[in-house]
Amino acid sequence: MEYRFRFLRYRFISYFVSLLLVLGSLFLLYYKGLNLGLDFTGGRVIELRFEKKPGTGDLRRAIKEAGIESFLVQETKEGTYIVKVREGESYQAVKDAVKKFGKYELVREERIGGVISEELREKAVLAILTALGGILLYLAFRFQPVWGVGALLALVHDVLIVLGAYSLTYREVNLEVVSALLIVAGYSVADTVVIFDRIRENLRLRKTLPLEEVMDISINQTLSRTIMTSLTTFVTAFTLFILGGYALSNIMFAFVVGVVVGTFSSVFVASSFVLDMGRFIRLRREESQEETA
> Which of 5-9, 102-106, 216-220, 286-290 tops mean pLDDT?
216-220
Contact 101, 54 (CB under 8 A): yes
Topology annotation, domain 7-36+117-292: Multidrug efflux transporter AcrB transmembrane fold (1.20.1640)
C-alpha pair distances (Å), 172 with each of 176, 213, 241, 249, 253:
10, 44, 14, 11, 11
Has residue 1 got a pLDDT over 50?
A: no
Has residue 285 got a pLDDT over 80?
A: no
- For residue 116, what pLDDT is reported? 52
* For the chain, domain boundaries: 7-36+117-292, 43-112
CATH architecture, domain 43-112:
2-Layer Sandwich (3.30)
pLDDT tens-digit readout, 138-194: 777 777 777 878 888 888 889 999 999 999 988 888 888 888 888 888 888 888 888
Long-range contacts of range 230-234, CB-CB < 8 Å, 24 or more positions apart? 230/191, 230/259, 230/260, 230/262, 230/263, 233/187, 233/259, 234/259, 234/260
- For residue 90, what pLDDT is reported? 67
Characterize 46-80 residue by residue with b for buried, 16 or more Cβ atoms within 10 angstroms of its Cβ, and e for exposed: bbbebeebbeeeebbebbeebebebbbbeeeeeeb
- For residue 253, what pLDDT is reported? 93
pLDDT band at 27 (very low <50, low <70, confident <90, very high): very high
pLDDT tens-digit readout, 227-257: 888 899 899 999 999 987 777 888 899 999 9
Has residue 24 got a pLDDT over 90?
A: yes
Closest CA to 45 of 80, 79, 77, 19: 80
pLDDT tens-digit readout, 103-131: 888 888 877 765 555 676 677 778 777 87
